[in-house]
Structure 1
Amino acid sequence: MAKPERVERLPKGTYEAELFRLQGELVKLQEWVKVEGARVVVVFEGRDAAGKGSTIKRVAEYLNPRIARIVALPAPTERQRGQWYFQRYTEHFPAAGEIVLFDRSWYNRAGVERVMGFCSKEEYMRFLHQCPIFERLLTEDGILLRKYWFSVSDREQEERFRSRLQDPMRRWKLSPMDLESISRWEEYSRAKDEMFMHTDIPEAPWYVVESEDKRRARINMIAHLISTIPYHEVQRVPLSLPPRPPTSGYRRTPRDMQTFVPDHAGTLPAVAGSAPARSSSPGTSRSKQAGKPDGRKRGPKTDRV
């Protein structure tokens, strides 16, 4: 097993601050896409456990799901296997003003399908011939296509697999196919090299993301993505809350005539070391209490890696 070069882990504080800044830029990019009617397709490919899904999660965290959506397709159905290979992917392409993030893509044919024998040699060779033509058609039509390959060493991949095996909350991420990839490491490497040779074209180049440290990978990928699209901050129409109108005599339905969910939260014991509930003092916003300049709230700390 090859020993990877040691990668210094990005400090958590540095990572959190820069990620939040970049996510703010992604929101600006989203608004530009909506106003300009742009169409953006971002392809995430790479080894199993290379960090594609967690990066996609950070990219989409603050985006409007009506504008930006994630596409992660299951294995093709019998009907789809009888279609033109690219057809089931084009069904999910963006309309004007939309962003689509592909968590794996049509490149399955050049990777897992080739290595595991899920396609014939003729189908594989046809893909290598058609894919550059297909992607040139997309870019000629105005689609902004970005392709990222997340690269991770065999040792780091194995460590992440072991971590998932021991974590009941993430064990679902592992499949027999993932574990099979360990014994086929070099076959996947050769498949990736040949895929790049045929599909790394000027109109749609591949960008490799070093992913030994997931924090660095996320920061580097997002920073690169926004640097490749000439967006600008869109001026929004100023909004203000209107005054509440005087009451018209409406009376709320009595509580005993409605079915409420039980107060499960009220039955929970206090956890040692947890912070007491904070009450907002006059003139103090929740956003200032949370340390966020615009009130946006992060998920649980355990979700940040």
Structure 2
Amino acid sequence: MLDLKSNSTDSSINHTMPRKRARSHSIEVTSLPILQHIEPITSGYCMAAPFSEDPVPCRIRAECDYSIKIDVETAKRGAAPRTVRVYADGAFDLFHQGHARLLQQAKSLFPRVYLIVGVSSDENIHSYKANMVLNEAERYDAVRHCRYVDEVLRNAPSVYTDEFLEKNKIDFVARDDIPHDFEDVEGTYAELKRRGMLVATEKTNMVSTSNIVARIVKNYDIYVRRNLARGYSAKELNVSFLKEKKLKFQNKMDELKDKGKELIDTLGERTDDMISKWEDVSREVVENFLLYFFRKPLKILHNSKKKILRAITPPESTDEENCDIYLTKRRKML
């Protein structure tokens, strides 16, 4: 992961495109601005960063003229006569986004930076009474595959001596502005700060290896059950026989709960389909019922209303008929 980006950029500037291709190329670039951040795919760029003792870093270090001293202001302006060599170090246990952002900041301190990353060995860490999750080989390999790293220094020292700085031709040391509790800030970094070789980086809040370990410890049973379900043995997880059986029983109960929930959801979907179909059918049944047992009788009743009224109401008599009826009644009375 050497600084191939600058080389590829320079070569692209000097390259002259044919006249017929120039217009189409400019249209392609302007129409796809979102792709401008993509690095060119080369075999060198996709390789893991080499170790300090490998041939390529040794050659780059030998070609560097360390007699030319570079101050911070010159480096920030991009006026340095050579590539600026920046050094950052740490344990990098359980490599996470906080580590990646630290190295990104170190790589972006100046326009042209060759980033050397030192990784502490197990022996050095144990001297501080600290324990790591990953061993040194695993931590070396994790840092090598970070895209911002140009070179990895194994067994990084805890003290920056003049011999160490000159051997690796380091111009600046990048460190978090908030140091760790076990670090001797006054003794380790005071001299670098006096020389103007210490550059601060910003620490990522709430992201650290200790924070990740705390989350795992807090949810210990969950992660043990997770690994038991994935085939790990109780011995590998350092749990007792009874604890193993208890956690496996809990896993089985969770499986049954999930299956029951899926069954209920499936039945619920089927019930919804049945209800929807029944609503369609019932709507048709109700309409037919109303048509044959309510609307038609009303129509028949409406059409035969006069006939019914005539059947139950006596016909109206005329005046002559009324007079005859009166006279007949009078004669009977006489």
- Same fold per superposition (TM over 0.5): no
Structure (1 or 2) with the larger CA radius of gyration: 2
Which structure has more RCO (C-alpha within 8 Å, separation ≥ 6)?
A: 1
- The structure where helix makes up a greater share of residues is 2
Interval containing the TM-score (normalised by the shorter chain): under 0.3
TM-score w.r.t. the length of structure 1 is 0.25
